[in-house]
């Protein structure tokens, strides 16, 4: 129902999808080995949009029996983000990811990544402008 409403009454569907993806990314965690990002995406629009972008870039995402928990390779995620978000914000995110992935303690690595991902989501939404920022604000209340 939310998916249909977004298509009928929302602004640009792509901006809405980007904002919702950034909302999911702002709460993402890093797998213990640091090679995959775990996202919880309840929103069908964001999940379908991400899946389409990954397919376009020859990547896939995994999900368990709970289809709201999505695992994306770091390379695939960065490739998608690179094609749609601000380069400066993305470079900061990549640098932050590198620092987090080099952390030996897996719990510290997860916490570091969460902070970096949230900062990226907010910065990328501001750089993208109106519709993306509005969608992000609606989802995470910034």
Query: According to the model, what pLDDT value does residue 140 have?
Result: 67
Query: According to the model, what pLDDT value does residue 34 have?
Result: 80
Measured in whole angstroms, the distance separating CA 25 from the mean position of its chain's CA atoms is 3
Angular region, 19: left φ>0, alpha ψ -120 to 50, beta rest: alpha
Q: Is it the case that residue 12 has pLDDT exceeding 90?
A: no
pLDDT band for position 11 (50/70/90)? low
Average pLDDT on 21-36 reads 87
Counting DSSP H helices and E strands in the chain, the numbers are 7, 4
- Interval 49-71: pLDDT, tens: 899 999 998 988 777 778 888 89
Question: DSSP E strands: which ranges in the chain?
Answer: 29-30, 36-40, 61-63, 69-73
Spans of all domains in the chain: 2-132
Specify the pTM.
0.80
- Interval 95-122: pLDDT, tens: 999 999 998 888 899 899 999 999 998 8
Average pLDDT on 10-26 reads 84
Count of other CB atoms within 10 angstroms of residue 135: 28
Average pLDDT on 78-90 reads 90
């Amino acid at each position: 129902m939310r998916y249909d409403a977004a298509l009928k009454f929302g602004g640009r569907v792509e901006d809405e999808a980007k904002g919702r993806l950034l909302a999911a990314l702002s709460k993402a965690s890093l797998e213990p080995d640091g090679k995959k990002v775990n996202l919880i995406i309840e929103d069908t629009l964001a999940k379908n949009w991400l899946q389409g972008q990954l397919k376009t870039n020859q990547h896939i995402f995994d999900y368990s029996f709970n289809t709201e928990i999505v695992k994306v390779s770091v390379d695939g995620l960065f490739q998608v983000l690179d094609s749609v978000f601000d380069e400066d914000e993305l470079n900061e995110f990549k640098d932050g990811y590198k620092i987090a992935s080099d952390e030996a303690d897996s719990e510290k690595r997860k916490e570091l990544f969460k902070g970096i991902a949230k900062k990226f989501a907010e910065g990328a939404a501001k750089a993208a402008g109106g519709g993306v920022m509005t969608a992000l604000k609606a989802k995470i209340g910034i």
